[in-house]
Structures are given as C-alpha cells and as structure tokens.
Structure 1
Amino acid sequence: MTQCVLITGASCGIGLATADYFHRQGWNVAASMRDPTQDHILGERPGLIRPQLDVCDPKSIQSAVNEVLERWGRIDVLVNNAGYGLIGPFEAADEMQVRRQFEVNVFGLMAVTRAVLPSMRAAGNGALVNISSMSGYSCFPYYSLYHSSKWAVEGFSESLRYELEPFGIRVKLVEPGVVKTDFHTRSKDSSALAAYEPHCERSLARMDRFYRFGNSAERIAETVYRAAASNSSKLRYPLGWDARAAYLLKRIAPDYLISRLTRFLCAG
C-alpha cells in the first residue's frame, strides 16, 4: 500500500523540496500550506494534494488532517516544517512578535502533532519528523527568541518519543546547520533598537557570511526522507559540518570554550 506523508509549510524552501522528494519516491503527498492558490511550483500531480493548513488555526489543522484521511485513509509520516524566525535584540521585540515565534514554531507544531496522533496510534505505526535546527542546541547573539523556540522543540521531541514508542510511533529531529533557502526573506522578522545597532549589525553581518556555505533544501529533504523511512530509534539527524561540529562541541566542550568561540565567530 502506498504510504502517505503530510508536510506543513510546503509552499517554499525545505517544505517544498521535501514534498517534491517524497512524491518522486512514490509516496502520496499532502503538501499543506497557508494559501494553496499561491503554489506555482508543485502544481497538479497524481498522488499529491495541497490542503490549506495554518498551524496557528486549529480549525484549518483538523480540516487538513481530515482531508488527508478521507483521501488516503492514513498518515504514515508527519513532517512539521512550518517555521518563523525572529532575529534581533530581545529587548526590542514586541509582545506580538514574541508570541508569534512560539505560536508557529512550538504551539503550532504541537497542535498538528496532536491532530495526527490518533490515526497513527490506531494504526500502530508512524513517524513524526520535526524540522529543528542547530539552533536547538547551540546559541548565537540576537537569535534568542528563535533559539528558545527550537530548544523547546528539541525538549518536546525527546520526551515525546518515549511516550509514543509503545504505539510504534517514531520521533525524529532533523537539525540542519546553515541553510541556503529563502527562509531569511520569506519567514524572517526582525526587531531593532538604536542602542544595540552597532553590535547587532556587526554580529549579523558576520553570520550572514556563512549562508553561502549552507545546506541546500534538496539535501535536507533527502535527510528528512531517510529519517522518516528509518525504523531505528535514532532521534537526531544533524546535517552539515557546522551542525555536526556544534553538536559535538555541546557534548564535550566546557561552556567557557563554547562562549569564547561564539564571541569570535559572531562579535569579532
């Protein structure tokens, strides 16, 4: 029987590449997005639908899940990809920006997961693939709110896997390092405050230099597929030299060494 994947945030970047990759592997694909009418790339394909799904709207979540189950009767894999990035000084962020950071990256991810779990539990099988980041276990200046949302995803996923193991449901974290997609133009927001400007501009300019070395969306899609298809209990899939190095340093290096390296990379 053909397997089915539901992907959030599939209109661009990692989500789009993942939808295309799963479809080319012969899967039924539900490439959900906030506004399917704006999709000019995936188009109409056999075995692919584009449900309207806004992770901040519980009604659209349940409607999309129902549409997939009515169409194919199953959801074998959920890829929680939809994301929002708030960058800049924490002090400058307003309440709405802070709440949106967590509504999309954390509460939205949880809401979609909750809607999908009953069908997976009834089937006794499934996989949740949460798109995290090296930002979920490392930290850089002026990414404090984005980091905190990804750290929440990491903790949620690590704990949830123990709850779901008895039901045959696997939890996976795909943790890319720097990514070469338009996330930083389409899904990024920023905060600013004059007192921080000289330091913030210098730090973010140094960080921007690394993006040309980042992972492609297509490479991340391949890793998402590998994680989804694996029956192993492996939780984390760091992707890219930067993510693997950061993960190793977090495990073996003392805090003072990590902080000195971070200052050198971001504030030198």
Structure 2
Amino acid sequence: MTAKTVVITGTTTGFGRDSVELFSAQGWNVVATVRKDADLDVHDHLSNARTLLLDVVDEDADAGFAQLALEQFGRVDALVNNAGYYHMGPVEAGTMSQIHDQFQTNVFGLMALTKAFIPVFRQQGSGVIVNISSISADQGYPYTAVYAASKAAVAAFTEGLNVELADLGVSAKAIFPGAHATRIFTKIDQAADVPEAYLPGIQRFFAMQGGGSKPAVTAQAIYEAVTDGKDNKVRYYTGPDGTAIPRVKQLLGADWYWDEFRNAANGNPSDLWKSLMPQGTEPVEFDV
C-alpha cells in the first residue's frame, strides 16, 4: 500500500515539529516547511520527511508551493496550516504594521496556501485541510485581541470551507488549542511603549493563565483530524482550558460564562470558575 503524504507548515518547533514526528512514525510521508536555511536539517533523522523552505507570508511562494510539494512524493493527501505569528499587547499600543503582520501570517498566508492545494485535492477527489485556530477564537482574550481576531477568522474560514468542499470529497477542519508550553511564547511580537495604565491588567490576566499542555497533545489532535474520516466534524479542541471552555460555555450559557470570565480576567475568579477551569501541567511563561 502506497504511503500517504501530509504537508505541514511551521515545523521547526512546537505543534509542527511534534506533528512531523507523529505522522512519520505512523508511516506517512511528510513534506515539512521551515522559514530559515539554518533549520533545513531539523528533520534529517526521518527518512520519510522532506524539509523545504517556505515563508507563508509570501503569497507568490504559497501559490507555487503545491507543485513543489507534489514533486517530493508524487501525491499530497493532507495539508496542515500550522505556521503562525503571535502579537501581544493592548490594541492602543500595537502598530498597524504589527496588526497587518498578524493577519498576513495567520490569515492571508494560510488562505493563499490553502488556495494553492485545493485544485490538487479537487482533481484527485480527496484531501484533508487542517487549520490551526485557537481557543481564543471562541473566547477573545484581552492583550491578545488582534491575535484572537486572526484565529477567529481562521475558524470561520474553515467552517465555510468545510461545506464548500464537501461535494469534492475534500474536508476542512480546525484545531482549537488552549494554552500550550510551546516556543511561540518566547517569540511574541510585543507592542512597545505600553501605557502604564494597562500594566496592572496585563499582570492580572497572565497571572490567571496557569499552565499549558505539551505540544504533543495538539499534534495528536491534528493527526486525528486528518485520519478519523469524520468529514462533517470541523472543531477539535485540545489542552485543559481548550476542552473546558466550550463545555463551560454550554453549561453556564453565554451571558453567565462571560461574567465569570470577565471577573477572572480582572483578578477576581469565583470558586465556580476555579472549579470549572482545570489547569495544565507544563509552565507557560509570558514576558510581560
């Protein structure tokens, strides 16, 4: 039986790297992308992986990448849009350049690459597209509002795409990770010159974050989304808070949940909130 092939973007660390390892271990061929020449050897220990340069911000490169990916193993069965960018800070303090960069990577680059692969999947009558969203797409967080907005765009895009591609035999799905102990938190693009009035709120909010789960937890969810055959399922939640938030919102209702979240974000979590929101086991450090 011919091995299937998955394309995964942003694979130097975190979800992407763990996903490459997992798919490879399961017998898949993997086309992995990195942004820097220095990282091209990151997957050299895997005989069924090919590592290619791609900066998803470059829409022209995205448009031609599908053909290059096809040339590696002769077929592509799944695309995982994992590459991401994290801008943090009060909206007032962020620059419009940072806001545009946030959407260029997380939304427009993702859309451009997806557009490049849809004809491949349409012509072969099969394929799975998995986009990495965030639990903040369901729950907009302060001081990362622009990031949350970009991930909400990814979620809505994926849901529309799921229905749009159904008649073609192609499925689109989204992963909603909660807090995870990945290097994205050491690569934050922070707003500069934050007014002092925001600092107490920032400290309160990030103090309530607790821990996060290991990237392998989300890698497993990505693998499940690609392989479970559930074409009608769009949303996959991972991590302690990622899985808890939709359940708590359903339990409490939108208005009550919002009151609980807002109080917690302001440093006054209720006993109910503490009991319903489990903590992860891996520390997450925010440089604020």
Normalised TM-score (structure 2) = 0.86
* Aligned residue identity for 1:102: F
Please name the residue that 2:224 is paired with: 226
Runs of 5+ in structure 1 lacking a partner?
none
Aligned length: 263
For the Cα contact (< 8 Å) 1:130–1:173, is it kept in 2? yes
The one of 178, 181, 204 equivalent to 2:206 is 204
Please name the residue that 2:279 is paired with: none
- Bigger CA drift: 103-112 or 41-50? 41-50
* Aligned residue identity for 2:17: L
- Bigger CA drift: 84-93 or 236-245? 236-245
CA 1:159–1:252: 2 relative to 1, 3 Å: farther
For the Cα contact (< 8 Å) 1:52–1:60, is it kept in 2? no
Please name the residue that 1:45 is paired with: 46
Alpha-carbon shift at residue 234 of structure 1 (Å): 1.1
Please name the residue that 1:157 is paired with: 158
* Cα distance in 1, alignment partners of residues 73 and 41 from structure 2: 24
Q: Which has the higher helix share?
A: 1
For each residue in 1:90-121, what CA deviation from the matched residue of structure 2 results, as whole angstroms up to 9, or x when unmatched? 01110110001100111111011001111110
* Aligned residue identity for 1:190: Q
Alpha-carbon shift at residue 44 of structure 1 (Å): 4.8
Alpha-carbon shift at residue 172 of structure 1 (Å): 1.2
For the Cα contact (< 8 Å) 1:131–1:173, is it kept in 2? yes
Please name the residue that 2:142 is paired with: 141
Please name the residue that 1:109 is paired with: 110
Normalised TM-score (structure 1) = 0.93
- Bigger CA drift: 250-259 or 159-168? 250-259
* Cα distance in 2, alignment partners of residues 49 and 101 from structure 1: 28
* Cα distance in 2, alignment partners of residues 89 and 118 from structure 1: 40
Please name the residue that 1:9 is paired with: 10
Please name the residue that 1:83 is paired with: 84
* Cα distance in 1, alignment partners of residues 251 and 108 from structure 2: 31
- Aligned alpha-carbon RMSD (Å): 1.6
* Cα distance in 2, alignment partners of residues 15 and 36 from structure 1: 17
* Aligned residue identity for 1:33: V
For each residue in 1:151-203, what CA deviation from the matched residue of structure 2 results, as whole angstroms up to 9, or x when unmatched? 111111111111100000011111111111111112x2111233312222332
* Cα distance in 1, alignment partners of residues 16 and 26 from structure 2: 15
Give the 5 Å matches for 1:116-195: 116-186=117-187, 188-191=188-191, 192-195=194-197
Please name the residue that 2:214 is paired with: 216
* Aligned residue identity for 2:203: E
Alpha-carbon shift at residue 46 of structure 1 (Å): 2.0
For the Cα contact (< 8 Å) 1:135–1:147, is it kept in 2? yes
* Cα distance in 2, alignment partners of residues 138 and 63 from structure 1: 35
CA 1:36–1:21: 2 relative to 1, 3 Å: farther
Runs of 5+ in structure 2 lacking a partner?
268-288
Please name the residue that 2:261 is paired with: 262
For the Cα contact (< 8 Å) 1:51–1:64, is it kept in 2? no
Please name the residue that 1:250 is paired with: 249
For each residue in 1:28-82, what CA deviation from the matched residue of structure 2 results, as whole angstroms up to 9, or x when unmatched? 1011111143245422532211111111112322343222112222210000101
Alpha-carbon shift at residue 204 of structure 1 (Å): 2.2
For the Cα contact (< 8 Å) 1:36–1:51, is it kept in 2? no
* Cα distance in 1, alignment partners of residues 91 and 175 from structure 2: 26
